[in-house]
Structure 1
């Protein structure tokens, strides 16, 4: 069943904060299917061509990083030959997401990325960043739909968003702390603004735009995964975006969008395909 879209209060909240959690949008039986399909795919370790094994922290013992055993999976929707491909594609184009994204964009959404994060106990977090640093959408920005596959909170490395950052320019990041984060970029929030831990339950979907500063903490729990299925979308009016991404309409048609060659805030065209979270 398709979602009916957003009410006035939800639109106002998103307009103020740049992020919005829709509670229980995905049923728990569906969440179980997502979780089990991806865990089965990872049963024998990283999958060549799908798993994105992170950089090893300097001085860390071999095999000490839980993310080496459970690295994130990038663009699983493109792997139609695997069960995760069918599941990722089905939820990427889920009819419940379309009207919400259309309300948030103010126009038709196009899908351009899928990811799955396992984040097992002991895993490092992802430092504060902005998604459109990577996607480089013009003239607008991108949008994430972050599906909680487990309850996500401070104890297991939950998602954080910084309110009042939705209208910021995209910043050139500083280096992150490799002891705490597996990614290399850190964006410092403006003075007086602090990250807000999003208390998410399995089945909740967090939507946020590409300028919002967000990230996650390390998973300090002894036995709780913090799995998530993440999609990125761009508005139909997009003229340019990074060459790492391919836009598709919800009707399954590939969109011809030019490559953004402006170099971004750091003066380089080589921003890697991102994984926000």
Structure 2
């Protein structure tokens, strides 16, 4: 029996299940994007200890020191929390999960001109959602292209087991972990317009290019979610939120995963 869907169709569901990802065009309105732009422009001039610590003195040549990613902005900003729980996103997630989604994490990437990319990796290596999986909702605040550091994905790797990463090339990646794609499978660029949202499975191998432009940011608002039937998640992502904002406290996942418990699980993601 075909289950009832809220906003997606069966073709979209099947694409997500087969390929591990789904792009929903224009899910964020122009007004939504403008609100997010303005809020994170404001945040870019602040220091939020432990969550956003930019170099406001211009003492480094690394553009990511001036514009690092903002971790968990929903924990200190109501606009970020509002868009993490954005109804159109939560409706898509409900269709993809077949049940309610719980919001676990928010992030904002400025990706300034000249900045390094992020080596290929898998999200559920860090979130450790069990049983089930995490899903990312990656919203383009600027158009994402190959030139300005758009996302790379390896299709059909959503069924690929979570792997213990190798060491990434620090000259091209600002994170230290690298997951090698399976043999004969290659990363492909995801070209997106402002307001598009890319949803992808927590096992899908993905990363990003360096921003090769001299004058373009590639801003993105990125959130991660767990299925409501999950019982465990990594401690970094607790507590979680239902769409109405109420808190959910899953158990801490103490399983060391494919690298063992001694591996540094401080998420670089």
Q: 1:69 aligns with which of 59, 63, 66?
A: 66
Alignment of 1:232-243 (within 5 A): 232-243=224-235
Which region of structure 1 is more displaced relative to structure 2, 242-251 or 198-207?
A: 242-251
Q: 2:151 aligns with which of 149, 154, 159?
A: 159
Using structure 1 for the length normalisation, give the TM-score: 0.90
Tell me the equivalent position of 2:52: 51
* SS of equivalent to 1:193: coil
Structure-2 separation of matches of 1:179 and 1:40: 30
Tell me the equivalent position of 1:22: 24
Gaps of 5+ in 1: 55-61, 80-84
The 1:53/1:131 distance shift into structure 2, 3 A limit, reads farther
Tell me the equivalent position of 1:59: none
User: Does 1:258 pair with 2:226?
Assistant: no
Alignment of 1:169-188 (within 5 A): 169-188=161-180
The CA deviation at 1:12 is 1.2
- Runs of 4+ aligned structure 1 residues displaced above 4 Å come to none
User: Does 1:92 pair with 2:90?
Assistant: no
CA RMSD of aligned residues (A): 1.6
Structure-2 separation of matches of 1:92 and 1:36: 16
Structure-2 separation of matches of 1:16 and 1:235: 19
User: Does 1:119 pair with 2:111?
Assistant: yes
Task: State how many pairs are aligned.
Answer: 260
The CA deviation at 1:64 is 1.4
Structure-1 separation of matches of 2:246 and 2:33: 27
CA displacement, residues 168-221 of structure 1 (integer Å, 9 cap, x when unaligned): 110000000000000000000001111110010110000001000000010001
* SS of equivalent to 2:99: coil
Using structure 2 for the length normalisation, give the TM-score: 0.93
The CA deviation at 1:52 is 5.6
Tell me the equivalent position of 1:202: 194
Gaps of 5+ in 2: none
Tell me the equivalent position of 1:226: 218
Structure-2 separation of matches of 1:194 and 1:53: 34
Structure-2 separation of matches of 1:274 and 1:75: 13
- Partners of 2:142 and 2:193 within 8 A in 1: yes
